[in-house]
Amino acid sequence: MTTHTPIPTTSEQKKPTAPRGALDRFFHITERGSTVAREVRGGLVTFFTMAYILVLNPLVLSTPHEGIAPLGTSEQIAAGTAFVAGVITILMGLVANYPMALAAGLGINAMIAYTLVGMNGMTYADAMGLVVIEGVIILVLVLTGFREAVFKAVPADIKTAISVGIGLFIALIGLVDAKVVRAGGTPLELGLGGSLQGWPVLVFLFGLFLILVLHVRKVRGSILIGIVASTVLAAVIEGFAHLGAFDAESNPTGWSLSIPSLEGSPIELPSLATLGHFSLLGSLEKVGVVSVVLLVFSLMLADFFDTMGTMVAIGAEGDLLDEDGNPPRTREILVVDSLGAIAGGAGGVSSNTSYIESAAGVGEGARTGLASIVTGVLFLASMFIAPVVSMVPYEAATPALVVVGFLMMTQVTDIDWKTPEIALPAFITIIMMPFSYSITNGIGAGFVSYLVVQLARGKVKQIHPLMWVASVLFVVYFTLEPIKAILGVG
């Protein structure tokens, strides 16, 4: 009878063990209860769960808007996306020793393509210049200690609620991306017309239940095995059925984004034509100072708090947080994240930010920056093997998000639900992330509600000054459009 050695429990992972080599000493692998094999597996899983950005970012940024041409072809933007993500993720591993990967942020790239570009003639280069400015400002806030201070001012229960909310959010992302849950119901519905239809959904269910079975059987590599097996199944199905890409009208049961088939050579030479295509002053000439300030503020706030929530969620999943809910090397994590925004703008591929999909790698056993280096190297390699990477469909990768969402949800018992001034803001934080489809909105709603509840309870002195600052900023963020209308800008 074959037996499988389970990944150590939290208490087992904390037992100090002597380092076993230079690599172990540098990354503290044994100290964090991990092994090189687990780090490699975790890095692989993280890459495959977020590799969709190599398809989706070019899809968003390569389309002309308002008659303004993009910075490059779809292939060039894909190569730039992979290059910047690879470099910054490797930097996260080396500098911060944290199992968190970065890549172009979906929310920000959409804001660039559909809001900034075309505004009074603003080009993609002008918009990327705003991203660079936003990144520099955040970097200054990190170096002065302000960003870290805001993070540490957040009550521990709210940090836990952020992790739980993100867990629900990524589980919903997994279900939506696999078309198990779709818009059109009240307001959502199960599958197509209230039932699960199509081969891609079958691939998702196969991957989900395979991972669940392997997980409860304590098989190492369960998530990675699930992704690979589901991809193979998807390729076989596509080879026989030729389903093609999803289209709401003509092909509602097609593959969501990537079609699991390989045509032509699996290797191609990349072009990094987007690098350096940004303009720092172009936006000022086109929309004016007031609009630039408000636009940079919008970009900055999303970057500022998204990473805070992500690094807490990843740290909680990997049992890497201290007693106050802070991850190790918080400043280094935030510095690299800020550099990601700058590099993404300078690279012409949008701000690079931390990805909650990294939690899938942590769920596979990753605990150190070595996993980030593995993910980063795979991003760099993907510039040359883009056809192979694009074979992994959403339906094969998203089961990992649902499983990791469950793992993160287990932290909900750590919240003090018997104390209203903590329980209510925690609840609002949790529900607003999936319901508004935004980590930033959930954090903001939690902060503002925490402030209101504390004031109602007469506990003004217990509110940290930086929580006041953050809450006021979020009020501005939530009412930005009326403010812009009053000021007559944008």
State pLDDT tens for residues 194-253.
Answer: 888 899 999 999 999 999 999 899 787 788 788 889 989 999 999 998 898 888 778 888
Cα gap 89→378, rounded to integer Å? 10
Question: Residue 264 — very low, low, confident or very high, per pLDDT cuts 50/70/90?
Answer: confident
Query: For residues 308 and 443, is the Cβ–Cβ distance under 8 A?
Result: yes
pTM for the complete prediction?
0.75
Q: Where are the domains of the chain?
A: 21-260+275-487
Number of C-beta neighbours around residue 9 at 10 A: 10
Q: In the prediction, which pLDDT does 5 show?
A: 40
Give the distance from CA 404 to its chain's centroid. Answer: 13
Query: For residues 174 and 399, is the Cβ–Cβ distance under 8 A?
Result: yes
Instruction: Mean pLDDT check: name the lowest of 87-91, 197-201, 372-376.
Output: 197-201
Query: For residues 82 and 54, is the Cβ–Cβ distance under 8 A?
Result: yes
Token couple for 436: 């508004």
Q: In the prediction, which pLDDT does 194 show?
A: 81
- What are the respective helix, strand and coil percentages of the chain, to the nearest 5? 65, 5, 30
Polymer length of the chain? 490
Of 268, 273, 279, 310, nearest in space to 440 by CA: 310
Q: Where are the beta strands (DSSP E) in 186-316?
A: 188-190
**Positive or negative, the Cα torsion across 128, 129, 130, 131?**
positive
Cα gap 38→105, rounded to integer Å? 27
Q: In the prediction, which pLDDT does 12 show?
A: 46
Q: In the prediction, which pLDDT does 106 show?
A: 73
Cα gap 16→354, rounded to integer Å? 29
Question: Residue 381 — very low, low, confident or very high, per pLDDT cuts 50/70/90?
Answer: very high
Cα gap 323→31, rounded to integer Å? 17
Question: Residue 386 — very low, low, confident or very high, per pLDDT cuts 50/70/90?
Answer: confident
Residue 181's H or E segment, with its range, is: strand 181-183
Q: In the prediction, which pLDDT does 162 show?
A: 85
- Indicate the residue type of 254: G
Cα gap 449→427, rounded to integer Å? 10
Asked whether residue 187 carries a pLDDT value surpassing 50, the answer given is yes
Phi and psi angles of residue 134, each rounded to the nearest 5 degrees, phi first: -60, -40
> Left, alpha or beta for 69 (phi > 0: left; psi -120 to 50: alpha)?
beta
The fraction of the chain above a pLDDT of 90, given in percent, is 38
Q: In the prediction, which pLDDT does 1 show?
A: 37
The pLDDT of 443-454, averaged and rounded, is 92
Cα gap 246→195, rounded to integer Å? 17
The pLDDT of 171-194, averaged and rounded, is 83
pLDDT tens-digit readout, 98-143: 999 999 987 688 778 877 888 778 889 999 999 999 999 999 989 9
Instruction: Mean pLDDT check: name the lowest of 151-165, 205-219, 223-237, 257-271.
Output: 257-271
Q: At what angle do helices 156-177 and 420-436 cross, to 10 degrees?
A: 20
The b/e string for 369-403 (b: 16+ C-beta within 10 A; e otherwise) is: bbbbbbbbbbbbebbbebbebbbbbbbbbbbbbbb
Instruction: Mean pLDDT check: name the lowest of 37-41, 209-213, 401-405, 448-452.
Output: 401-405
- 280 versus 184: the higher-pLDDT residue is 280
Asked whether residue 302 carries a pLDDT value surpassing 70, the answer given is no
pLDDT tens-digit readout, 315-353: 988 999 888 788 999 999 999 999 999 999 999 999 999
Tell me which residue has tokens 């699996």: 266
Q: In the prediction, which pLDDT does 98 show?
A: 97
The pLDDT of 74-92, averaged and rounded, is 94
251 DSSP β-pair partners: 247
Which of 6-15, 32-41, 65-74 is predicted most confidently? 32-41
The per-residue pLDDT of the chain, averaged, comes to 86
- 60 versus 85: the higher-pLDDT residue is 85
Asked whether residue 387 carries a pLDDT value surpassing 60, the answer given is yes
Q: In the prediction, which pLDDT does 43 show?
A: 96
The pLDDT of 54-71, averaged and rounded, is 78
Q: At what angle do helices 74-91 and 53-61 cross, to 10 degrees?
A: 130
Taking CA atoms, 86 is separated from 83, 92, 342, 343, 434, in Å, by 5, 10, 14, 11, 28
